[in-house]
Every structure is written in C-alpha cells, then in structure tokens.
C-alpha cells in the first residue's frame, strides 16, 4: 500500500490501526495533509509524527494519544478537539486555533505555539516546557493545570 490515496483513505475512514501499520512500514514517506478537512473524525492513537499538516481542519476530532511529534501543523484548526495525551513535541503549530479544546495531558514540549488561540480550552497536566508561546491567547493559567518551565511567554 504505497499509493497516496490508500493511506489517505485509511485516515479518512478512521482505520487507525491499519494506517499505523502502513506508517510503521513506510516511516520515511513524507505525508502532507495540508488544507484537508478531517473535522469530526476519530484519529485517536494515529502515528502522525513528522507530517506536514498546514491549514488543516481538525476541529471536533478525537485526537486522543495522537502523535504529532516533529510535525509542521501551522494555521490549523483544532477547535473543540479532544487532544487528551496527544504529543506535539518539537512541533511547529504557529497560528493554530485550539479554542475549547481538551488539552488534558497534551505535550507541547519544545513546540512553536506563537500566535495560537487557546481560549476556552481545558488544561490539566498540559506540558508547555520550553515552548514558544509569544502572542498566544490564553485564559488565566495556574501551576496546577500546566507545566510552563522555561516557556517563552513574551
């Protein structure tokens, strides 16, 4: 299964187990989901690391435990998505829209989150260690809901 349409249809049909098997066998294939609409899909546990996913609609998605490590996900819409325990380490998420998202346990360590909008989101054990958060729109945060060590807020 090496054709673009085959792995893409697995994602669009939320066949995550099959997609992950293909992904592990084709780890060096460059995946580009830019501009696509996955709103409302169940992509939980998907191996989406090192993908390009700019201007993508992921609103209302179930992205629990999805792995976006080292991905380029700029200008994308995660509004009202469930990102519980998702991984975005070393990600480029500039100008992302995360309004009203569930960010419980989400790991944004070392990510570029400049100009992102997090208003109305649920934070619990959310990790922003060494993240770039300049100009991000955030509701008031407390040290019990987020880890901000060395994060750049200004």
pLDDT in tens, 51-87: 999 999 999 999 999 999 999 999 999 999 999 999 9
- Report the C-alpha gap between 93 and 97 in whole angstroms: 9
> Quick one: pLDDT at residue 55?
98
147 three-class SS: strand
- Answer yes or no: is pLDDT of 1 > 50: no
Instruction: Give the per-residue pLDDT at 81.
Output: 98
N-to-C CA span, the chain: 46
Structural domain contains residue 2: no
Max distance between CA atoms of the chain, in angstroms, equals 47
Residue 122 lies in a domain: yes
Helices (H) and strands (E) in the chain, counts: 2, 4
User: Is residue 6 one of the residues assigned to a domain?
Assistant: no
Using DSSP, state whether 7 is helix, strand or coil: helix
pLDDT score of 106 more than 90: yes
Structural domain boundaries enclosing 118: 31-154
- The per-residue pLDDT of the chain, averaged, comes to 94
Judged against a pLDDT cut of 70, whether residue 115 lies above it is answered with yes
CATH of the domain at 85: 2.160.20.80
Sequence-ordered strand ranges (E) for 1-59:
none
- Mean pLDDT confidence for 115-142: 94
Query: In this model, does residue 90 exceed pLDDT 70?
Result: yes
Instruction: Look up residue 20 and give its two tokens.
Output: 């992950």
Predicted pLDDT at 5: 60
Kindly state whether residue 43 falls inside one of the protein's structural domains.
yes
What Å distances lie between residue 47 and 41, 123, 124, 125, 149, CA to CA?
15, 23, 23, 22, 27
Residue 115 lies in a domain: yes
**Position 14 in a domain:** no
Q: Which residues of 8-42 are buried (b: 16+ CB within 10 A; e: fewer)?
A: eebbeebebeebbebbeeeeeeebebbebebeebb
């Amino acid at each position: 299964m090496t054709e673009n349409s085959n792995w893409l249809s697995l994602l669009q049909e939320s066949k995550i187990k099959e997609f992950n098997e293909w992904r592990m066998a084709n780890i060096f294939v460059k995946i580009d989901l830019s501009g696509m609409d996955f709103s409302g899909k169940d992509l939980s546990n998907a191996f989406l690391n090192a993908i390009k996913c700019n201007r993508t609609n992921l609103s209302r998605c179930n992205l629990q435990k999805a792995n976006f490590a080292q991905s380029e996900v700029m200008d994308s819409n995660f509004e009202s998505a469930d990102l519980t325990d998702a991984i975005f380490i070393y990600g480029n998420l500039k100008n992302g829209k995360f309004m009203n998202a569930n960010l419980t346990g989400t790991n944004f360590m070392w990510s570029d989150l400049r100009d992102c909008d997090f208003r109305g989101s649920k934070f619990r054990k959310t990790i922003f260690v060494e993240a770039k958060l300049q100009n991000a729109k955030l509701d008031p945060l407390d040290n019990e809901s987020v880890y901000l060590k060395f994060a750049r807020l200004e």
